[in-house]
Amino acid sequence: MNLDRLFRLAAALAAVAAAAVACVIAAAFAVYALARIWLGPAGGAAVTAAVFAGIAVGVAWLATRKAAPEEAQEEVPVVERLLQMAKERPLMAAGAAAAVVTLIVRNPAVLSAILSAVIAGNAAKPDAK
């Protein structure tokens, strides 16, 4: 990444951060102005602080919660998993297929390596009779 792109990225991040700060300040002022009507200046400030403290707690909880552990799943063959992922994300599957075809066309040795690995893998499996 060259220095010019790095500076542009830093400027974009600074602009987004400044816009976010401005939005938070405007929202805080709106909450204060609304609460001040019924509760006065001190009550409006207290309500504003409570609202934004609640938002901060919610964001912190979302950022720090742990993901639920996955239950043990049965072994699914690789081909079935690939077909399932292709059904879920067809555009990504089409891109991957195009990349594989391009790789094989540009380097046929890859195709022979894949075929020899598949054949060797099938030969190593015991017959299930």
Shared-domain flag, residues 92 and 114 = yes
Q: Look at residue 101 and tell me if it is in a domain.
A: yes
pLDDT tens track for 16-75: 889 888 988 898 889 899 988 888 999 889 988 998 888 888 888 888 877 677 676 677
pLDDT of residue 33: 92
Could you tell me if 48 and 90 lie in one domain? no
Instruction: Look up residue 70 and give its two tokens.
Output: 């996955």
- In the chain, how many domains are there? 2
d(CA 117, CA 112): 8
Q: How confident is the model at residue 1 (pLDDT cuts 50, 70, 90)?
A: low
C-beta of residue 32 within 8 angstroms of C-beta of residue 45 = yes
- Residue 118's domain spans which residues? 78-124
Q: Is residue 30 domain-shared with residue 54, that is, in the same domain? A: yes
Q: How far apart are CA 48 and CA 41, in angstroms?
A: 11
Q: What's the one-letter identity of residue 15?
A: A
Question: 11 with 47, same domain?
Answer: yes
What whole-number distance in Å separates Cα of residue 49 and Cα of residue 72? Answer: 45
Q: Is a pLDDT exceeding 70 seen at residue 13?
A: yes
Is 70 within the bounds of a domain? no
